[in-house]
Amino acid sequence: MVVGTVAVTGAAGRIGSAVRRALRSEADRLVLLDQVPLRPEADNEETLTVDLRDAEAVESALTGVDRVLHLGGVPDEAPLPELLDANVLGTHHVLEAARRQGISRVVLASSNRLTGFHPAGQLTGPEAPPRPDGLYGVSKVAVEALGRLYADKFGLSVICLRIGSYEQAPQEPRHLATWLSPRDALGFFRAALSAPPTTPFTTVYAVSANTRRFWTLPGARELDYTPVDDAEAYAGQIPGAQDPTDPEAPQGGAFAAPEFTLRHLRP
């Protein structure tokens, strides 16, 4: 159960829309931010059209908020200037508004792509060094670094969720390791938003309990949620699921290929 006033950035997105539906019956008030116009769908919803690059607009939107779930930004590979503008600068504005407004909790949407060049045969935890599989992953390294800075320097309680492959069901062999089911996603978000305000800076992988997963699951001291779904239940429906995985191949799969980033660089 998440109580108080919760702000969700990127509320018009795929994950943001699901979070909105789930939290509207739990939070006392939902403040929904996106640069896409939204309309309230419940009495406890407030919708605001906000560009996260506008620091004053972000601070105004977060006035009176208790907790923030920051999902806004560019969600995939893009030219680095766009990623720095939307993801890094936007996150800075959210954290700075939280500091100025005395907000007790900020949950940052990070990504598994931050460590996509670690080998598939290695079970990777948050303590492993960043090895981003592209420019998007680089932006998430910076996002987490900003969260750490605001936790260490200003005492904010910041939880970073390295989100896996959010899908209704796994669609490809890599998802058998990386899938995050909608049910588990909401479980992670609820746990992160409702963790005690004294929780220090924490980073966890938000991934379902997949038999083949690449990443460690959090313990109760890191985050009090245990995922329940396993992509293995869908293995029989996915072509290539039984093919052996090269343990030295990057966890990022196709995201780690040069071509995935080259199209976003100057020719």
Q: pLDDT for 173-192, tens place per residue?
A: 999 999 999 999 999 999 99
Residue 267 located in a structural domain: no
* pLDDT-based confidence at residue 259 (cuts at 50, 70, 90): very high
Domain that holds residue 246: 5-262
Written as six digits, the tokens of 147 are 């969260």
Q: How far is CA 207 from the centre of its chain?
A: 11
CATH code, domain carrying 243? 3.40.50.720
Mean pLDDT of all residues in 136-140: 98
What is the rounded distance in angstroms from the CA atom of residue 263 to the CA atom of residue 129? 26
Q: Report pLDDT for 197.
A: 82
Please check whether residue 183 is in contact with residue 15, taking contact to mean a CB–CB distance below 8 angstroms.
no
> What pLDDT is recorded for position 258?
98
- What's the confidence (pLDDT) of residue 198? 84
Question: What strand order describes the sheet that includes 5-9?
Answer: 45-49, 29-34, 5-9, 67-70, 105-111, 157-163, 202-206
118 domain residue, yes or no? yes
Pick the residue with more confidence: 3 or 35?
Answer: 35
pLDDT at position 27 over 90: yes
The answer to the question of residue 55 being in a domain is yes
Measure CA 7 to chain center. 15
Q: Which residue reads 């996002």 in tokens?
A: 143
Any idea which residues carry the catalytic annotation?
Answer: 136
Instruction: Say if 56 falls within a structural domain.
Output: yes
pLDDT bracket for residue 13 (50, 70, 90)? very high
Q: Which residue has the higher pLDDT, 1 or 158?
A: 158
Instruction: Indicate yes or no: pTM above 0.95.
Output: yes
CA distance 108 to 179: 19
Phi, psi of 48 (to 5 degrees): -135, 135
Say if 187 falls within a structural domain: yes
Residue 246 lies in a domain: yes
In percent, the amount of the chain with pLDDT more than 90 equals: 96
| Best CA proximity match to 46, nearest among 19, 7, 18 | 7
Count of domains forming the chain: 1
Nearest to 178 by CA among 160, 202, 162: 162
For 245, half-sphere exposure in the C-beta direction (CA atoms, 13 angstrom radius) is 21
Structure confidence at residue 22 (pLDDT): 96
Q: 155: buried, middle or exposed (CB in 10 Å: 19+, 13-18, 0-12)?
A: exposed
